[in-house]
Amino acid sequence: MDKQKVIVEMKQVYKDRPQGIEHTLRVLNNAEVIMAEENLSDQDQELIAIAAILHDIGIPRALEKYGSSKSTFQEQEGGVIARSILEKLGYDSDKTDRVCYIVGNHHTKSKIDGLDFQIIWEADLLVNLENMEISKTPQKLEGYIKENFKTQGGLKLIKKEF
Ligand SMILES: [Fe+2]
């Protein structure tokens, strides 16, 4: 499936929140850099790109419904919205399930159960770390990186940026 179609849908959901589009495209770019270092099939790369494009798709609705983008709200809303977008675009149903699992758990480290999810975790964290206090404390940051980054590509990016 053409990832541009998914990007068009994401931009529609985020039409009033341009910063969300910018964040998402940065996460997608990180995921693509990390993927390039892994031995992944074209189909897996496509799935990971789609998961990156949709990972935060639940935020606008979580804010609308609950006035909060708390992880549990955006994960719950995100899984549902991601499914409706991918069904509309006719994406494979098993792969849709996998994308929705990742989107619906993307802030829950204990749910990481595969390289695809791990890449999304690292790609998102690379952007979010810029606003996290921990990035300003070198000793703490080192331990945090060890706990959260496993891929060669992710480790290279984090060393370059922090
Ligand atoms: Fe994110």
Question: Tokens 């921990």 — which residue?
Answer: 134
Question: Tokens 């998102």 — which residue?
Answer: 124
Domain boundaries, the chain: 3-161
Cα(139) to ligand 1 centroid in Å equals 25
Cα(56) to ligand 1 centroid in Å equals 5
pTM, full prediction: 0.96
Q: Two tokens at 89? A: 């675009």
Q: How many CB atoms lie within 10 A of CB 146?
A: 10
Domain 3-161 carries which CATH code?
1.10.3210.10
- Tallying the residues shown for the chain, one arrives at 162
- 28 Cβ partners below 8 Å, 6+ apart? 49, 52, 53, 123
Cα(53) to ligand 1 centroid in Å equals 9
What's the rounded Cα separation, in Å, for the pair 19 and 106?
19
Q: In this structure, what DSSP letter does residue 67 have?
A: S
What's the rounded Cα separation, in Å, for the pair 125 and 132?
10
**Residue ranges in the chain modelled with pLDDT below 50:** none
Helices 115-128 and 18-35 sit at what angle, rounded to 10 degrees? 130
Question: CA of 54: how far to CAs of 3, 133, 150, 161, in Å?
Answer: 11, 26, 22, 24
Helices 93-103 and 42-54 sit at what angle, rounded to 10 degrees? 40
Cα(44) to ligand 1 centroid in Å equals 20
Cα(40) to ligand 1 centroid in Å equals 23
What's the rounded Cα separation, in Å, for the pair 22 and 98?
24
Cα(123) to ligand 1 centroid in Å equals 8
Cα(97) to ligand 1 centroid in Å equals 19
Q: Two tokens at 139? A: 């000793």
pLDDT of 138 reads: 87
